[in-house]
Amino acid sequence: MTQLESTGVAAPAKRSLTGSLGVTAIVFMVVAAASPLTVVGGAAPLGILIGNGVGFPSLYVISAVVLLLFSVGLATMARHVPKPGAFFTYAGYGLGRSTGLAAAWIAMLTYTTIQVSVYGYVGYILSYTVESVGGPSIAWWLFSLIVIALVGVLGYRHINLSSKVLGVLLVAEVGIVLVMVAAVMINGGPQGLSLDTFVPSNIASGSPGVGLMFAIAAFIGFEATAIFRDEAKNPNRTIPRATYAAVIGIGVFYTLASWGLVMAWGPDGIMDAAAEDPGNLILRTMSIYLGSAGEIITNILLITSMFACVLSFHNVVTRYQHSMSNAGVMPEKVGTVHHTHLSPHISSVVQTVTAAVLIVVFAIFQLDPVLQVFTWFAGVATLAIALLMALTSIAVIVYFAKTKKDRRVWQTIVAPGLGFVGLIVSAVLIIANFPVLVGDADADGNPVFGGVSWVLLALIVVFPLFGFVQAWWIRTRRPLAYAKLIDTISS
């Protein structure tokens, strides 16, 4: 990483991040991004209702297997490429500078859209909660801006503070869900406990492609373990272990939690319960099995869950921007590190302003915070991350084929290859079902590709295209800077 001169007159500005995050702290950071309670309370009921019904929990298992295969290559790459940046860096090392830069902008799109989608959702939940307890009616976007400000304050400070906040919130939300599952298992549910969710006919029922979208979306953020490399303690061991722990932990938890949700209502009753109101299914379930106290606690934790989610994604995006700045593709100042907090503070401010501006724009256009802001941009993020991980899988295979630095076939060819196939199949299913996700339909209500679908899908084309154009401009106008863009094996 090049040490660049600061604009000050004293010493060069610090540009390298440092820290001593262990496996547990990093896992907390990335699992918090997966927002467990938000997924169980929001995505799982929708996956059951408009996906494949009783068989939906099995899709978490399938997603976890695909992403675990992808993680093998990711972890192997992390051992041999001692740099943060994850997709941006790995795609550059494997497929060249231009592709690496294109990957960086896809990543920026992914994490920015998923973050702003949750800002919309948390703003709505806060507005609804305040009004439901007799408070004033306040616009959702005002609450979103307040949350953005709070996240900005924590993101500006040392990463250890964020990890501690996320750790407390994560333990609380996971704990309440596990208590619910335990209560369901003790009670037995209306139809008793069964493994109907894992029967092949139930897995293939309904619209499994739609269900897979919600399942994969639940894992977004796990791959960001490599982003924290410079702040990790013994990164060659910490990053791979954190990556595997995150995927396995997320997969097991979501499978168990969604299975418990199905058992709570019974295989024959879950669809009707979800259809009644998927948004509060988790609260109704908590009320039945844990009483009104459990329902109130869950409602509070649902809000803190979304706060933990946006805080985690904020930290991921700021570190992507930090890495891109130090590679010379974003303004130099974005890559500086605070002398006291040791955080990429300028990058944090940039991301805070970006999120605030987007929320204001959505408010001006009067977008619905859940049906449009949350759903549309979560859909964009899900497809973008699937394509980005597929690209990274190819980069891993190519990198080790060129360098011969690691000759283990499973880690460098087979696992990344299988992961690539699984991710591409998932991406195809997501694209085919994209109108369902964003609500595009014809006059009869049948899902069709319309204006919203095409505009949102275009973002996934425009962002990497910008990366390729930027790489071409740098190569043409600043050849020396291009040569140092990413110190890849070949251009």
Query: Which amino acid, residue 85?
Result: G
**Is residue 8 pLDDT above 50, yes or no?**
no
What is the band of 9 on the pLDDT scale with cuts at 50, 70, 90? very low
**Torsion angles phi and psi, residue 102, rounded to 5:** -60, -40
Tens-place pLDDT, residues 216-260: 888 877 766 666 555 556 666 777 788 888 889 889 999 999 999
Q: Can you give the pLDDT at residue 159?
A: 53
Answer yes or no: is 10 within a domain.
no
Q: Which stretches within 327-450 are classed as H helix?
A: 345-364, 375-403, 409, 415-432, 434-438
Nearest residue to 289 via CA among 197, 179, 151, 396:
179
Answer yes or no: is 2 within a domain.
no
In which domain, by residue range, is 367 found? 23-483
Top pLDDT among 371 and 335 is at 371
d(CA 272, CA 274): 5
Answer yes or no: is 221 within a domain.
yes
Q: Can you give the pLDDT at residue 176?
A: 92
d(CA 381, CA 378): 5
**Is residue 50 pLDDT above 50, yes or no?**
yes
Tens-place pLDDT, residues 105-122: 998 898 899 889 889 988
Q: Which stretches within 404-450 are classed as H helix?
A: 409, 415-432, 434-438
Residue 403 CA to its chain's centroid (Å): 31
What is the band of 417 on the pLDDT scale with cuts at 50, 70, 90? very high
Look at the chain and report how many structural domains it folds into: 1
In our burial notation (b when 16+ CB lie closer than 10 A, e otherwise), range 267-295 reads beebbebbeeebebbbbebbbbbbeeebb
Q: Which residues, listed in sequence order, are joined to residue 441 by a DSSP beta bridge?
A: 447
Q: Can you give the pLDDT at residue 12?
A: 42
Answer yes or no: is 8 within a domain.
no
Among the residue ranges 211-225, 245-259, 267-281, 391-405, the one predicted with the least confidence is 211-225
Averaged pLDDT for residues 371-399? 90
Answer yes or no: is 130 within a domain.
yes
d(CA 448, CA 415): 35
Tens-place pLDDT, residues 95-109: 988 898 899 899 889
d(CA 400, CA 308): 36
Question: What does the radius of gyration of the chain's CA atoms come to, in whole angstroms?
Answer: 22
Nearest residue to 412 via CA among 400, 402, 424, 423:
400
Q: Can you give the pLDDT at residue 320?
A: 75
Averaged pLDDT for residues 317-321? 80
Q: Can you give the pLDDT at residue 262?
A: 96
**Is residue 23 pLDDT above 80, yes or no?**
no
Answer yes or no: is 27 within a domain.
yes
Residue 47 CA to its chain's centroid (Å): 17
Query: Which amino acid, residue 225?
Result: T
Question: Cα 77–80–83 angle (5° rounding)?
Answer: 85
Stated pTM of the model:
0.81
**Is residue 381 pLDDT above 50, yes or no?**
yes
In our burial notation (b when 16+ CB lie closer than 10 A, e otherwise), range 347-366 reads bbebbbebbbebbeebbeee
CATH of the domain at 105: 1.20.1740.10
Contact 173, 37 (CB under 8 A): yes
Answer yes or no: is 1 within a domain.
no
Tens-place pLDDT, residues 418-473: 999 999 998 998 888 888 777 777 777 777 888 888 999 999 999 999 999 998 98
Tell me if residue 323 falls in helix, strand or coil.
helix
Nearest residue to 232 via CA among 79, 60, 70:
79
Q: What percent of the chain has pLDDT over 90?
A: 35
**Is residue 484 pLDDT above 80, yes or no?**
no
Q: Which residues, listed in sequence order, are joined to residue 232 by a DSSP beta bridge?
A: 21
Q: Can you give the pLDDT at residue 390?
A: 94
Answer yes or no: is 9 within a domain.
no
